[in-house]
Amino acid sequence: MKLFRFQLRFLLPVVITLTVASLLAFPAMEALTQRWFSRDLNLRGSLLASAMSESINKAVSAEHADRLRPLFERTLKDERLAALGLCGPDGTLLLTTPEYPVELSCSQANALAGVTPPRLVTETGSFHVATHQIPLDSGLNAEIILLHDLSFIERRTLLSRQYFVIFVVSLGLIIALTVVVSAQLSWNTWMKGIRGVLLRQDVVRTPKTPAPPEIPADFAADIRAQLRDLEDEYRRKQGGDEYWTAARLRSLLRTQLRGDQVIVVSNREPCIHDWVDGNIVAHSPASGLVTAIEPVMRACSGTWIAHGSGSADAVTADGYGRLALPPDSPEYTLRRLWLSKEEEAGYYDGFSNSGLWPLCHLAHTQPVFRETDWQLYRSVNQRFADAVIAETRIDDPVILVQDYHLALVPAMVRKHLPRATVISFWHIPWPAPETFEICPWHAEILQGLLGSTILGFQTRQHSQSFIQTVDRLLEARIDHEHSVVWFHDEGTLIESYPISISWPAMEAHEPSIQHTGIRQQYAPNNSKIIIGIDRLDYIKGIPERLAALEHLLERHPEWIGKLVLLQVAAPSRENMPDYQAFKSRLELQVQRINTRFGKPGYQPVHLLARYHSHAEIQALYRAADICMVSSLHDGMNLVCKEFIAARDDEHGVLLLSQFAGASRELPEALSINPYHVENMSGSILKALLMPEAEQRERMASMRMTVREANVFRWAGRMLTDASRQRLRRRVEQRVRRYHKA
């Protein structure tokens, strides 16, 4: 249809030109023909007149004009000559042949012969009128009138008009045919060329795709440049890179992904309902994943499938495990998936948190891999994949698979929804190949993840480690230039997308808490406050942080009574013996420090080992002089970004572990090595003494970074890449269909 319209654009001007030309040409042509015939008849007439002049002279001079009748009749045998008339010197008609029109006098004949065309129309037909003088012996002139039948001229004109029409139509047809054939040929070549360019640019082209036809390099480069310009223009229209907002993300979904269905699947749910003293209490879990995904889901309005882990989760959802969130102004659907105690123990505590978690974090905790855990991990992953498939309404939804709990889900989903766009994100670090090889099911995990269209990591280093791991452990082809891993004819783009937080911060849906209350409660003597906000996890470097504080108070006793550490330790993985033991060790350590440096009215460390609401955490961020993130290893760590976002007063110092992914983005923080106690305590001291102006300068710069690289940008970049992949696949499919047709 498009090709037809394209050809019509050429044909229409041709048809119009030919029609206009014909309309203009007809009268001109007829006038010309008439002139030619007229000249011809005049010539013939003068020849006849001169041939007859002698006879006419004799007869008229002898006043016996009627003697000329036989001559006139013989002359009339010429088929084109219709009638003859003879006028005497006085202008009277002396002789006429039978067909001569009685109403035509000599003077009228002379008048008609002088105009162009010299034409007489009577009841019997139309005639060409010509008069010729015949000199007489008397010195006067007789005049012969010749009337030629014009019907033959009209017949010829009609005939030539028909020939002309046939000629114009044939010419039109030949032009149309030439245009159609050449347009078809150029279209094919053009499409082949475009396809070649697209395929060469397409990072997820399957190896089976036939090699694109050779087209001139300049031309290909030109098309690619044009495509890039179009893309840039589109992005510019979408807004500058620095201002990603929920609204922009929503519009990206509507425009680039045409509002396609979005499904998020993760182990952790965004809202947990528990029974507390006979009442249902909702709380948001301490999870970087939830902090990041929740605002994205609000913007995208999709479905979030997650494990319903709260004791009151079943009674707060409908019969399908569904509930709308947030409860006061619903923006997306949470679909809870129920796990048995056995499943939870094998899949979550077992394979995910005793196996993969310590394997991926360099925290020197030995991973434990048990066959039974693996079996449960596999079957639970299948259950999550089935839930995703059950939730899809279209055959090409966008599915966002989150984290190490669900590594097998991408391939499981891909099997049933081959056209789906599966974007997987690995929130924790990816280890070195030789470390990952320790997992007995490393190949299955890698294959599961390679069911994704895009596989995202927090840092470039993690994505590179993944590619190296595939290179070492799997029979796959790696396109290093485009960062694409080819496995079983499917390409997966491996990219780094540093996760972040919402900016501006989402409304808390809770009454805000004054941070001055915290100062009064924990730092009455205007002491400096250090905060640590973590899940109670051994990777967070909490004991190391305590050791650094102890070292500082030991070396700088002037700070005793003037410095407190408020350590929030959100309960985590409480069923796991390792975590229980870790909590006990931590409590003992805190007790020891408090006994050593505490005094009446002063306790250097407050271990707040309970859930804190969003509002409580915000108040802590605002009350702090220093925020300490001392993870031994962390995918990203969003606590530091939340602290920065909360400090619109541009006050406060961030101490950030060099082993947290966030350290790559925040060089203005004071970098610390949690394995080096002196380094850490020195950094705490530096932070305590940092001038206001320096604090402000560093904080302002970090706020700019987090504001720009917010979570909408994180999701926006992934969705943009995904939509580009989808677009390329659609173009590729159309081009293939077109070529088959």
Q: Which residues bind ligand F6P (CB under 6 A)?
A: 268, 287-289, 403, 427-428, 535, 572-573, 635
Least Å from the CB of residue 197 to ligand F6P: 40
Least Å from the CB of residue 205 to ligand F6P: 32
| Residue pair 421/397 in contact by the 8 Å Cβ criterion | yes
Q: Which is nearer to ligand F6P, 95 or 337 (CB)?
A: 337
- Which residue in the block uniquely carries the two structure tokens 């470390």? 435
The DSSP secondary-structure symbol of 659 reads T
Q: Tell how strand 477-479 and strand 484-487 pair up.
A: antiparallel
Q: Which is nearer to ligand F6P, 447 or 572 (CB)?
A: 572
Q: Which is nearer to ligand F6P, 37 or 714 (CB)?
A: 714
Least Å from the CB of residue 318 to ligand F6P: 24
Q: Kindly state the tokens that stand for 278.
A: 């006979």
Least Å from the CB of residue 571 to ligand F6P: 9
Least Å from the CB of residue 286 to ligand F6P: 7
Distance of alpha carbon 691 from alpha carbon 402, whole angstroms: 41
| Residue pair 419/396 in contact by the 8 Å Cβ criterion | yes
- Which residue in the block uniquely carries the two structure tokens 């970049």? 717
Least Å from the CB of residue 380 to ligand F6P: 14
Least Å from the CB of residue 302 to ligand F6P: 19
Q: Which is nearer to ligand F6P, 294 or 550 (CB)?
A: 294
The answer for residues whose C-beta is within 8 angstroms of residue 536's C-beta and 6 or more apart is 542, 569, 570, 571, 572, 579, 582, 583, 586, 609
Distance of alpha carbon 586 from alpha carbon 593, whole angstroms: 11
Distance of alpha carbon 298 from alpha carbon 249, whole angstroms: 10
Q: Which is nearer to ligand F6P, 85 or 288 (CB)?
A: 288
Q: How far is CA 503 from the centre of its chain?
A: 24
CB atoms within 10 A of CB 381: 23
Q: Which is nearer to ligand F6P, 308 or 635 (CB)?
A: 635
Q: Which is nearer to ligand F6P, 593 or 656 (CB)?
A: 656
Distances (CA, A) of 650 to 589, 620, 647, 683: 33, 15, 5, 19
Identity (one letter) of the amino acid at 476?
Answer: A
| Residue pair 569/582 in contact by the 8 Å Cβ criterion | no
As beta bridge partners, residue 68 has: none
Q: Which is nearer to ligand F6P, 205 or 633 (CB)?
A: 633
Sheet holding 322-325, edge to edge: 322-325, 332-337, 303-307, 262-265, 398-402, 421-426, 454-457, 490-496, 484-487, 477-479
The phi-psi region of residue 268 (left if phi > 0; otherwise alpha if psi is between -120 and 50; otherwise beta) is beta
Phi then psi for residue 642, to 5 deg, are: -65, -40
The DSSP secondary-structure symbol of 670 reads E
Q: Which is nearer to ligand F6P, 287 or 452 (CB)?
A: 287
- State the residue number with the nearest CB to ligand F6P: 288
Least Å from the CB of residue 565 to ligand F6P: 22
Least Å from the CB of residue 222 to ligand F6P: 45
Least Å from the CB of residue 266 to ligand F6P: 7
The H or E element containing residue 439 is none
Q: Which is nearer to ligand F6P, 499 or 623 (CB)?
A: 499
Across 79-199, where does the E strand assignment appear?
81-87, 93-96, 119-122, 125-135, 141-149
Distance of alpha carbon 308 from alpha carbon 312, whole angstroms: 9
Distances (CA, A) of 723 to 186, 209, 258, 710: 30, 20, 9, 20
Identity (one letter) of the amino acid at 333?
Answer: T
N residues, the chain: 741
Alpha helices (H) in 474-597, listed in sequence order: 515-522, 542-555, 577-597
**Omega prior to 117 cis, within 30 of 0:** yes
Least Å from the CB of residue 363 to ligand F6P: 13
Least Å from the CB of residue 570 to ligand F6P: 8
Q: Cα 400–705–670 angle (5° rounding)?
A: 110
How is the chain split among helix, strand and coil, in percent rounded to 5?
A: 50, 15, 30
Q: Which is nearer to ligand F6P, 72 or 348 (CB)?
A: 348
Least Å from the CB of residue 445 to ligand F6P: 16
Least Å from the CB of residue 626 to ligand F6P: 22
Q: Which is nearer to ligand F6P, 268 or 414 (CB)?
A: 268
Q: Which is nearer to ligand F6P, 339 or 529 (CB)?
A: 339
Q: Which is nearer to ligand F6P, 358 or 635 (CB)?
A: 635
